[in-house]
Amino acid sequence: MRPPRALWVPFPLGRPFGAPDNPDFQRRVLLATLQLLTADSGPVLADFPDDAPGDAGVDAAADGGWACPVSFPAPPVDPADLGAAVAAEIGRLAPWYEAARCARGRTTVGVSAFSIEAATAHAARFLEAPPPETGAEGAIRLKRALEDLKAFYSEAAAAQPGARGDDVADWLWRETALGRLMARLGQVLAAGDDAELRFLAERSLVPRAQGARRD
């Protein structure tokens, strides 16, 4: 594949312009890309020379790494009731989510038609057989509910500075009831009869890196 002009960048997937909340660095990357338009002949493939800086104003390594600011004491619910456990976590995270939303003036929650509470209940229903919905529509509705839940958790966790993408992902998948719920969903749906839900479970539910860590 030979696009006419391409800038290779060393940034993590999902961050093509390098670093959030760093307009100077984003501008550098953008200008380096636009500069390719001045080439007389092509195709052109150039390398951006610098790694993205860490979170602005924070050196996670220096301060011992990031830890989620919200603690989750054992909720007074049946530990096997993952839906209730997630609902309890949402209650603890909500103030941080709202603080982040107000500080940034935006949220990425809203892909699904569910409230966060309804998204939790909807996802939990898929832990039992038979699933409440099936087929392509059922699978995508479940996925969107989960994406909103993940966004809610991630935005709440990142309300405190120092949270890098890997830190938040590891916390979400390894330390929360939501992570346990989604992992359990992957197992249940992968063993089910519906092809679309199986595809979701096998390809679009648990990140490859997180799935390998759980094995």
Partner 1 sequence: MVRLSDLAEEDRDHLLAMPCPQFEDAPWVTGPPLSQRRLAVVTTSGVQLRGDAPFAIRTAEYRVIPGDATAADLIMSHTSVNFDRTGFQRDANVVFPIDRLRELADEGVIGTLADYHYAFNGAYMEPRAYAGTAREVAALLRGDAVDTVLLVPV
**What is the footprint of partner 1 within residues 93-112 (CB under 8 A)?**
104-112
Distance CA 12, CA 50 (A): 13
The yes or no reply on residue 183 touching partner 1 (CB under 8 A) is no
The yes or no reply on residue 60 touching partner 1 (CB under 8 A) is no
Contact 214, 180 (CB under 8 A): no
- Classified as helix, coil or strand, 185 is helix
The yes or no reply on residue 117 touching partner 1 (CB under 8 A) is no
User: Which residues, at least 6 apart from 16, have a Cβ–Cβ distance to it below 8 Å?
Assistant: 9, 29
Of 11 and 72, the one with the shorter C-beta distance to partner 1 is 11
Contact 109, 151 (CB under 8 A): yes
| Least distance CB 202 / partner 1 (angstroms) | 11
Contact 201, 190 (CB under 8 A): yes
**What is the footprint of partner 1 within residues 19-38 (CB under 8 A)?**
19-21, 23, 26-27, 30-31, 33-34, 37-38
Contact 142, 126 (CB under 8 A): yes
- Classified as helix, coil or strand, 18 is coil
The yes or no reply on residue 65 touching partner 1 (CB under 8 A) is no
Contact positions toward partner 1, by CB under 8 A? 1-4, 8-21, 23, 26-27, 30-31, 33-34, 37-38, 40-43, 104-112, 136, 139-140, 143-144, 147, 150-151, 154-155, 158, 163-166, 168-169, 199-200, 203-209, 211-212
